[in-house]
Chain A
């Protein structure tokens, strides 16, 4: 019994301390260094912020170059697939035209609904002016099972601040959570850490849209006994004074979730609303 415990101790010590022929560092020293780095970064020591910012900018650029082949291959495959499927594409488009024709009939109804929503949201502030919009390219959109975020190619040098709203076309997709000099990280709406105040429906129901790590965020803090109907458009309410009210987000589903208008995995260019006051901390 004691000899097996001795064996364990010897093997464990050996695993921690030994350095093989090609090993320059022992595991224990690297574990120690990694732990120190982790705590320095987590507890936000002053000097870590610029260091991290420089490392981020450098690694994001290298990552962009390294990811080029993986971007090219899907494009090539898609091209071949598209070429082979022209007929089915044509049929699909015909069907879509039919659907659009049907949708045209609902335009009047939608216009009225839009007017009502503008009234609800005090619509003077709802439309973004062109000068307040900054177009940015998505550098990295590596999908993590834990965090849903993208890296964009604009940073503090372009006036980006933490908390700024990020849009795809006119649809809200997330907010800036980390800024570097030349790049920024955008937390997407479907991330578990995302919380956005929203409003929807003719009665202007208020709720919080919470990310779930899945594809559809969920509505929380709804009025008691409220039953969600399918297909109601959800907008930002602007209650947090971070997002302008009236940015469309998605439509409700029966299970209390929101199907986003913008597909988070298909982003190439995004718009950043830079109308917020410079120097404002979120």
Chain B
């Protein structure tokens, strides 16, 4: 009786983290230490969990967290949602096409996912909104997000194995 709600909360971990990162002031832009260092943890969370355990996130929550991120960041509504949903789309496609993946294949497919996601982000911002974003900044962000992916892959994989083993027990 007690174990069930705890398991439920543990399973909600990735979703809570996604919402928290979208709504809180916590950011992954370290301009005070290294001006070009910034990465997008939300994209990593969405890609990893949509690939491994899509039932833990849910497309509706991804869409909604994108809307929150847009409000906090000052982007037009729907922009981050679109970006996140493109990541989900690639992850779901890869999940449908593959049986068992390793970190190298996940890393490579993640590159394709963030490339399309950030490309759509840039095209929409530069062509339809009054905002100006630097393609160099987006490239740096894409590069560092890709670089940090393996670290989060191991971290999330460990978390996944923990909640999966709990489930089996």
Q: Which residues of A contact B (CB under 8 A)?
A: 7, 11-12, 14-16, 18, 20-27, 30-31, 33-42, 48, 52, 55-56, 59-60, 62-63, 66-67, 70-71, 140-147, 149, 178, 185, 192-193, 213-215, 265
Do A27 and B59 contact each other (CB < 8 Å), given the known contacts A11-B93, A70-B25, A145-B140?
yes
For B150, what are the chain A residues with a Cβ–Cβ distance below 8 Å?
A: none
What is the bound-complex CA distance between A52 and B23, given in angstroms?
Answer: 16
Once the chains bind, are B134 and A192 in contact (CB under 8 Å)? Answer: yes
Give the tally of cross-chain contacts (CB within 8 A).
157
For A22, what are the chain B residues with a Cβ–Cβ distance below 8 Å?
A: 54-56, 58
Query: Could you give, for residues 46-64 of chain B, a 1 whenever the CB lies within 8 Å of some chain A CB and a 0 otherwise?
Result: 0000000011101110110
B131 interface hit (Cβ, 8 Å)? yes
What is the bound-complex CA distance between A193 and B92, given in angstroms?
Answer: 36
B73 interface hit (Cβ, 8 Å)? yes
What is the bound-complex CA distance between A264 and B103, given in angstroms?
Answer: 39
What is the bound-complex CA distance between A111 and B118, given in angstroms?
Answer: 51
Most chain A Cβ neighbours within 10 Å, of B76, B77, B89, B128: B77
Once the chains bind, are B96 and A15 in contact (CB under 8 Å)? Answer: yes
A147 to chain B, nearest CB (A): 6
10 tightest A-B CB contacts, nearest first: A38-B78, A37-B78, A145-B38, A67-B25, A15-B92, A34-B81, A34-B78, A15-B93, A22-B55, A11-B96
What is the bound-complex CA distance between A44 and B3, given in angstroms?
Answer: 49
For A52, what are the chain B residues with a Cβ–Cβ distance below 8 Å?
A: 77
Contacting A at CB under 8 A, from B75-98, are 75-79, 81-82, 85-86, 88-89, 92-93, 95-97
* CB nearest to B64 among chain A residues: A30
What is the bound-complex CA distance between A52 and B93, given in angstroms?
Answer: 33
Do A143 and B29 contact each other (CB < 8 Å), given the known contacts A34-B63, A38-B77?
yes
For A193, what are the chain B residues with a Cβ–Cβ distance below 8 Å?
A: 130-132
* CB nearest to B55 among chain A residues: A22
Once the chains bind, are B74 and A185 in contact (CB under 8 Å)? Answer: yes
Partner of A42 from the list B71, B76, B85, B138 (CB cut-off 8 Å) is B76
B133 interface hit (Cβ, 8 Å)? yes
Partner of B88 from the list A27, A143, A149 (CB cut-off 8 Å) is A27
A-B contact pairs, 14 of them (CB 8 A): A7-B97, A18-B92, A24-B58, A31-B89, A52-B77, A59-B68, A63-B72, A66-B23, A71-B25, A142-B25, A147-B73, A147-B74, A147-B75, A193-B131
* CB nearest to A24 among chain B residues: B60
Once the chains bind, are B85 and A34 in contact (CB under 8 Å)? Answer: yes
For A143, what are the chain B residues with a Cβ–Cβ distance below 8 Å?
A: 27, 29, 31
Once the chains bind, are B27 and A142 in contact (CB under 8 Å)? Answer: yes
* CB nearest to A62 among chain B residues: B23
For A37, what are the chain B residues with a Cβ–Cβ distance below 8 Å?
A: 67, 77-78, 81
For A24, what are the chain B residues with a Cβ–Cβ distance below 8 Å?
A: 58-60
